[in-house]
């Protein structure tokens, strides 16, 4: 134990299951909890929709809410939950010295404008001129700001006054892994005392589905748990709206302000397998080896997406170690892209804090775990690229 | 024996390779020749029709094979070209770099050309349903990858043999500087002894131009394109959208010296501070930009009187140039009137995600060549901004230290301090 250890002092969570760490713990530890699904709105795709959220609770000004679309609102809201949970929200001094690393994709396009342009393109050959004509007249000027990747962080600065530094990492699950890894490295080296890190994903927009479906990654047909989608119609991914933010803090800093600590964040390890060369299996095995897993039964919170190849590789690597009791939370939340790794770390930290595991999310595949969850493994193997995992330990 | 640790006991970070592409050309030699002769790369837009557009000029890079292929392919090619120049100059194996990659690049979206072609490939149903249905049938991996935010870095990692999971980042117009900062920090923490930091932006599409135009951010001085970008001038009316790339090989001074590499400059310090005032405007008192400059100086271990030259963000928007002047005059006091401060953007326009990296490359060359590139189009000075902008003509000067500013939408402020010599 060292004073520069990284501890988790705040957790903000939103998914189709609800909001906040307590709500998620209660739902996820209830035997036989059913996923919240919407199979009609984007049929043939099933999604896990956002729960009802009163944005005013974390974004007080209507003016601020209007400047954002749902993705940024969601991220700003979840970040607020984490800050609240860590006792930092509203503390000007702590916010002004707080660093921030956000894992982000892009915001929502104006679907009505896009559809009108596409419809008109059927009868026009001068499509570039059509584009100029429509975009110059029909785009809402400030929509651009709601789409910019770094403006989720920008909105968190504006709404929650987190202004120490602001960095946005892009790149699907890998961005979430790098964000947590970089934030932890800053704390360990003494560069930062407290960092807000996380991401959000808003799947209820056709472009967000298109981002997967251009390579056929989405699962179609009746919903199934993450581990049971191999061979089904489609590519295996069922998406969900949600987000996860963590407050990571130097142990000494957290102690000096007398904060409750959920867990310690141990090593975070990232990698990039050259998957086309078939390196994924070996890469996951190597990451697990580098993590120096403790002896004995180990609860493993898997961010598996359901994507056929990546999920099969992860399952094989995890199954190779009989000590691992795996829980793939996307069965119940859907895949949340950039937020996937922060979400896995959050669920791992909750288990460590409550000294208990989660019951199987898919009892046909996931085995029982009765241990005290002193150490928990969190994984995020990207549906298309990039891999990472981390160990979360009792503080 | 040179000192290998800085004033805080961290490894000193050297630059051993520099690469750059802008509308002025490919590579340092062409760019430097043009930049120091006051040549502008701003020209009429020919990549797409300009009907209905208020701004019809830009600093696009129109001379690469990918220039007409869309934002993702062009951004990749820009990044690759600059990185190849930097890695070669550093004398490292360009297929087995062996350190991490930090890439500043624009957020990606499905290109309109692809949207149109997918949509019009059949006539069943309509709108987004048709797009999704067609997409899952064709599974075009090349198109898919243009929509994945990590794919350009993934390809670059393959191409250059960088180590580990590459980081793709965006801090809007400060991105290039942030990519360098991340590399510097990784070396200082001892995670690696070298890093490849790239800023690249090939996203000057019609939609990007229209978006900035709708925010009234762009110059509409279309008639004489090379005169449109006029930082610190009274009649400045917005920035000129541009493309480009800059790449630096960063190395611990110890590792660089040990392998006998030529040290091109030193990354002395990085500073940042987020602004919580507004999405596009800075806090009226300039305090976040001021704090970023001061943080960079403190990180570099230099006082206000130890900066020889400022490579300005200098976008030529009414807001930026006014606020940058306020911030700099607050930090540097009376000395500000006699410090050379110039804006590369007067010639190359605003290369957005690449700007911080491109301008760091030019800052390092300024020190090495003892020549300060001018701020061109400075014919009508803004009386409220009294600065020595190195007007219109290059200046020969010994420059030992440079401050380079980058400020962006979303309250992003990042400053870099570079030095010619290690101590």
Q: Would you say residue A191 lies in a domain? A: yes
Give yes or no for A271 touching B (CB within 8 A). yes
List Cα–Cα distances, A101 to A169, A348, B137, B196, in angstroms: 7, 20, 37, 20
User: How far, in Å, CA of B186 to CA of A63, rounded?
Assistant: 39
- Chain B CB contacts of A148 under 8 Å are 107, 170, 172, 409-410
Backbone angles phi, psi at A40, to 5 degrees: -105, -40
Task: Measure B52 CA to nearest chain A CA, in Å.
Answer: 6
Domains of chain B: residue spans and CATH: 13-108+148-419 (3.40.47.10), 114-145 (no CATH)
Residues A208-231: what's their mean pLDDT? 97
DSSP output for A254-288: HHHTT----EEEEEEEEE---GGGT-HHHHHHHHH
Establish how many alpha carbons lie within 13 A of residue B362's alpha carbon, considering only the half-sphere containing its beta carbon.
35
Which of the 8 DSSP states describes residue B174? Answer: T
For residue B184 the two structure tokens come to 């510097």
User: How far, in Å, CA of B222 to CA of B345, rounded?
Assistant: 16
The model's confidence at residue A144, banded by pLDDT at 50, 70 and 90, is very high
Q: Would you say residue A119 lies in a domain? A: no
User: How far, in Å, CA of A21 to CA of A198, rounded?
Assistant: 14
User: How far, in Å, CA of A329 to CA of A350, rounded?
Assistant: 13
Residues A228-235: what's their mean pLDDT? 98
Residue whose C-alpha is closest to residue A303's, from A275, A337, A277, A352:
A337
User: How far, in Å, CA of B89 to CA of B223, rounded?
Assistant: 39
Note the pLDDT of residue A190.
Answer: 96
Backbone angles phi, psi at B268, to 5 degrees: -80, -40
For residue B75 the two structure tokens come to 């951004």
User: How far, in Å, CA of B396 to CA of B398, rounded?
Assistant: 7
Neighbour-count burial of A364, counting CB atoms closer than 10 A to its CB (0-12 exposed, 13-18 middle, 19+ buried): exposed
User: How far, in Å, CA of B69 to CA of A185, rounded?
Assistant: 38
Query: Which helix (H) or strand (E) segment is B279 a member of?
Result: none
For residue B128, the SS3 value is: helix
Contact A139 B210 (CB under 8 A): yes
For residue B174 the two structure tokens come to 């400060």
- Chain A CB contacts of B128 under 8 Å are 111, 114-115, 206-207, 210
User: How far, in Å, CA of B120 to CA of B112, rounded?
Assistant: 12
Which of the 8 DSSP states describes residue A56? Answer: G
Note the pLDDT of residue B54.
Answer: 98
**Which one of B192, B221, B350, B415 is the catalytic residue?**
B350
What's the whole-number average pLDDT of chain B? 97
pLDDT in tens, A324-358: 999 999 999 999 999 999 999 999 999 999 999 99
Classify strands B194-201 and A387-393 as parallel, antiparallel or unpaired. unpaired
Nearest to A158 among B50, B171, B279 (CB): B279
Nearest to A215 among B123, B132, B139 (CB): B139
Q: Supply the CATH number for residue A243's domain.
A: 3.40.47.10
Task: Measure B101 CA to nearest chain A CA, in Å.
Answer: 12
The model's confidence at residue A3, banded by pLDDT at 50, 70 and 90, is confident
Note the pLDDT of residue B423.
Answer: 72
Query: Which helix (H) or strand (E) segment is A242 a member of?
Result: strand A242-250
Closest A-chain CA to B271: A165
Give yes or no for A175 touching B (CB within 8 A). yes
CA angle A239, A245, A248 (to 5 degrees): 145
Contact A132 B49 (CB under 8 A): yes
Residue whose C-alpha is closest to residue A159's, from B273, B292, B278:
B278
User: How far, in Å, CA of B11 to CA of B174, rounded?
Assistant: 24
Place of tokens 């954002």: A68
Work out how many CB contacts closer than 8 A connect A with B. 242
The model's confidence at residue A28, banded by pLDDT at 50, 70 and 90, is very high
Place of tokens 């049971």: A228
Give yes or no for A232 touching B (CB within 8 A). no
- Chain A CB contacts of B72 under 8 Å are none
- Chain B CB contacts of A104 under 8 Å are 170
User: Are residues B164 and B318 in contact, defined by beta-carbon separation less than 8 angstroms?
Assistant: no
Is residue A58 over pLDDT 70? yes
Q: List Cβ neighbours of A282 (8 Å cut-off, separation of 6 or more).
A: A273
User: Are residues B328 and B252 in contact, defined by beta-carbon separation less than 8 angstroms?
Assistant: no
Contact B215 A67 (CB under 8 A): no
pLDDT in tens, B130-154: 999 999 999 999 999 999 999 999 9
Backbone angles phi, psi at B252, to 5 degrees: -65, 140
Q: Would you say residue A355 lies in a domain? A: yes
Closest B-chain CA to A164: B273
User: Are residues A66 and A134 in contact, defined by beta-carbon separation less than 8 angstroms?
Assistant: no
- Chain A CB contacts of B120 under 8 Å are 121-122
Give yes or no for A178 touching B (CB within 8 A). yes
Which of the 8 DSSP states describes residue B352? Answer: G
Residue B5 CB: number of other CB atoms within 10 A? 13
User: Does B350 participate in catalysis according to the annotation?
Assistant: yes
Number of domains in chain A: 1
Helices B71-90 and B151-160, axial angle in degrees (round to 10): 30
Mutate to test the interface with B, among A144, A287, A340 (most CBs of B within 10 A): A144
Note the pLDDT of residue B1.
Answer: 55
Give yes or no for A161 touching B (CB within 8 A). yes
The interface residues of chain A toward chain B in range 97-126, judged by CB-CB distance below 8 A, are 100, 104-106, 109, 111, 114-115, 118-119, 121-122, 126
Residue whose C-alpha is closest to residue A13's, from A70, A84, A113, A67:
A84
- Chain A CB contacts of B169 under 8 Å are 167-170
Nearest to A144 among B127, B154, B214 (CB): B214
Q: Which domain holds residue A268?
A: 6-107+148-393
Q: Would you say residue A138 lies in a domain? A: no
Under-70 pLDDT residues of chain B: 1-2
User: How far, in Å, CA of A185 to CA of A221, rounded?
Assistant: 43
For residue B358 the two structure tokens come to 């491109």
**Which one of B221, B313, B325, B415 is the catalytic residue?**
B313
Q: Would you say residue A137 lies in a domain? A: no
What's the whole-number average pLDDT of chain A? 97
- Chain A CB contacts of B166 under 8 Å are 171, 272
Note the pLDDT of residue B351.
Answer: 98
Closest B-chain CA to A101: B169
Nearest to A150 among B53, B110, B170 (CB): B170
For residue B218 the two structure tokens come to 């762009």
Residues A108-122: what's their mean pLDDT? 97
Note the pLDDT of residue B385.
Answer: 97
Nearest to A215 among B144, B211, B277 (CB): B144
The model's confidence at residue A80, banded by pLDDT at 50, 70 and 90, is very high
Task: Measure A360 CA to nearest chain B CA, in Å.
Answer: 31
Task: Measure A390 CA to nearest chain B CA, in Å.
Answer: 14
For residue A29, the SS3 value is: coil
CA angle A193, A198, A203 (to 5 degrees): 170
Q: Would you say residue A163 lies in a domain? A: yes
Output the CA torsion sign for B314, B317, B323, B326: positive
Note the pLDDT of residue B108.
Answer: 96
Contact A167 B169 (CB under 8 A): yes
Backbone angles phi, psi at A195, to 5 degrees: -135, 135
For residue B411 the two structure tokens come to 């309250």
Residue B313 CB: number of other CB atoms within 10 A? 32
Task: Measure B374 CA to nearest chain A CA, in Å.
Answer: 31
User: How far, in Å, CA of B411 to CA of A164, rounded?
Assistant: 11
User: Does B325 participate in catalysis according to the annotation?
Assistant: no
Q: Would you say residue A37 lies in a domain? A: yes
User: Does B313 participate in catalysis according to the annotation?
Assistant: yes
Note the pLDDT of residue A154.
Answer: 98
The model's confidence at residue A25, banded by pLDDT at 50, 70 and 90, is very high
User: Are residues B368 and B264 in contact, defined by beta-carbon separation less than 8 angstroms?
Assistant: yes
Helices A111-121 and B127-138, axial angle in degrees (round to 10): 70
pLDDT in tens, A90-104: 999 999 999 999 999
Note the pLDDT of residue A32.
Answer: 87
Which of the 8 DSSP states describes residue B418? Answer: E
Output the CA torsion sign for B57, B61, B62, B63: positive
Give yes or no for A290 touching B (CB within 8 A). no
- Chain B CB contacts of A186 under 8 Å are 185
Mutate to test the interface with A, among B167, B201, B415 (most CBs of A within 10 A): B167
Place of tokens 């690696």: B192
- Chain B CB contacts of A216 under 8 Å are 135-136, 139
Nearest to A213 among B135, B153, B182 (CB): B135
* Burial call A83-109: b when 16+ CB within 10 Å, e when fewer: bbbbbbbeeeebbeebbbbbbbbbbbb
List Cα–Cα distances, A289 to A140, A267, B73, in angstroms: 51, 12, 36
Note the pLDDT of residue B326.
Answer: 97
Neighbour-count burial of B227, counting CB atoms closer than 10 A to its CB (0-12 exposed, 13-18 middle, 19+ buried): middle
The model's confidence at residue A387, banded by pLDDT at 50, 70 and 90, is very high
Residue B338 CB: number of other CB atoms within 10 A? 9
């Amino acid at each position: 134990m060292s004073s520069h250890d990284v501890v988790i002092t705040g957790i903000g969570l939103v998914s189709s299951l609800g909001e906040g760490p307590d709500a998620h713990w209660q739902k996820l530890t209830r035997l036989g909890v059913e996923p919240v699904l919407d199979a009609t709105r984007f049929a043939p795709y099933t999604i896990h929709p956002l729960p009802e959220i009163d944005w005013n609770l974390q974004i007080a000004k209507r003016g601020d809410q209007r400047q954002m679309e749902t993705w940024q609102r969601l991220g700003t809201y979840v970040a607020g939950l984490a800050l609240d949970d860590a006792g930092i929200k509203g503390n000007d001094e702590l916010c002004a010295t707080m660093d921030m690393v956000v894992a982000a994709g892009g915001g929502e396009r104006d679907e009505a404008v896009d559809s009108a342009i596409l419809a008109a393109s059927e009868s026009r050959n001068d499509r570039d001129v059509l584009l100029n004509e429509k975009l110059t007249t029909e785009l809402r000027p400030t929509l651009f700001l709601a789409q910019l990747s770094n403006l989720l962080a920008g909105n968190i600065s504006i709404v929650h006054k987190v202004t120490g530094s602001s960095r946005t990492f892009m790149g699907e699950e890998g961005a979430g892994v790098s964000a947590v890894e970089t934030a932890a490295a800053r704390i360990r080296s003494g560069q930062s005392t407290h960092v807000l890190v996380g991401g959000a994903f808003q799947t209820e927009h056709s472009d967000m589905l298109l981002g997967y479906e251009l390579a056929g990654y989405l699962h179609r047909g009746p919903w199934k748990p993450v581990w049971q989608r191999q061979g089904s119609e489609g590519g295996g991914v069922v998406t969900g709206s949600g987000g996860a933010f963590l407050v990571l803090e130097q142990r000494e800093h957290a102690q000096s302000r007398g904060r409750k600590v959920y867990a310690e964040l141990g090593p975070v390890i990232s990698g990039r397998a050259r998957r086309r060369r078939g390196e994924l299996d070996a890469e996951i095995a190597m990451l697990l080896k580098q993590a120096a897993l403790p002896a004995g039964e180990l609860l493993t919170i898997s961010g598996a997406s359901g994507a056929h190849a990546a999920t099969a590789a992860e399952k094989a690597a995890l199954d190779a170690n009989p000590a691992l009791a795996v829980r793939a939370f996307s069965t119940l939340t859907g895949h949340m892209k950039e937020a996937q790794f922060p979400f896995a770390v959050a669920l791992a930290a909750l288990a460590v804090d409550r000294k208990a595991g989660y019951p199987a999310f898919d009892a046909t595949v996931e085995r029982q775990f009765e241990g005290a969850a002193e150490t928990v493994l969190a994984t995020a193997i990207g549906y298309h690229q990039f891999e990472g995992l981390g160990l979360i330990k009792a503080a | 024996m040179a000192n290998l640790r800085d004033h805080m006991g961290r490894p000193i970070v050297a630059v051993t390779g520099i690469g750059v592409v802008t509308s002025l050309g490919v590579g340092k030699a062409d760019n430097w020749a043009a930049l120091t002769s006051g040549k502008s790369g701003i020209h009429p837009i020919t990549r797409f029709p300009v009907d209905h557009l208020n701004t019809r000029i830009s600093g696009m890079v129109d001379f690469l094979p990918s220039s007409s292929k869309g934002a993702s392919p062009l951004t990749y090619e820009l990044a690759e070209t600059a990185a190849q120049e930097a890695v070669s100059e550093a004398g490292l194996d360009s297929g087995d770099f062996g350190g991490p990659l930090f890439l500043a690049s624009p957020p990606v979206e499905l290109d309109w050309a692809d949207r149109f072609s997918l949509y019009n490939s059949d006539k069943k149903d309509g709108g987004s349903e048709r797009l999704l249905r067609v997409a899952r049938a064709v599974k075009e991996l090349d198109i898919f990858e243009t929509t994945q935010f990590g794919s350009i870095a993934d390809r670059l990692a393959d191409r250059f043999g960088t180590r580990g999971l590459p980081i793709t980042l965006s801090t809007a117009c400060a991105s290039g500087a942030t990519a360098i900062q991340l590399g510097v920090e990784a070396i200082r923490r001892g995670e690696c002894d070298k890093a490849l930091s790239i800023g690249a932006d090939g996203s000057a599409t019609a939609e990007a131009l229209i978006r900035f135009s709708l925010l009234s951010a762009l110059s509409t001085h279309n008639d004489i394109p090379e005169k449109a970008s006029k930082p610190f001038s009274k009649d400045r009316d917005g920035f000129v959208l541009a493309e480009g790339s800059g790449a630096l090989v960063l190395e611990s001074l110890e590792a660089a010296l040990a392998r006998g590499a030529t040290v091109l400059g030193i990354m002395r310090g990085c500073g940042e501070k987020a602004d919580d005032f507004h999405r596009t405007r800075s806090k009226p008192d300039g305090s976040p930009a001021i704090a970023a400059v001061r943080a960079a100086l403190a990180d570099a271990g230099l006082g206000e009187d130890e900066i020889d030259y400022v490579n300005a963000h200098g976008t030529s928007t009414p807001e930026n140039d006014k606020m940058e002047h306020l911030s700099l005059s607050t930090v540097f006091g009376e000395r500000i009137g006699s410090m050379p401060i110039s804006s590369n953007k007067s010639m190359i326009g605003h290369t957005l995600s690449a700007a911080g990296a491109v301008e760091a490359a030019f800052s390092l060359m300024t020190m090495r060549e003892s020549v300060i590139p001018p701020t061109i189009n400075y014919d009508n000075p803004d009386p409220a901004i009294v600065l020595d902008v190195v007007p219109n003509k290059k200046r020969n000067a010994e420059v030992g230290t440079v401050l380079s500013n980058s400020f962006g939408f979303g309250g992003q402020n990042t400053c870099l301090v570079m030095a010619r010599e290690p101590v």
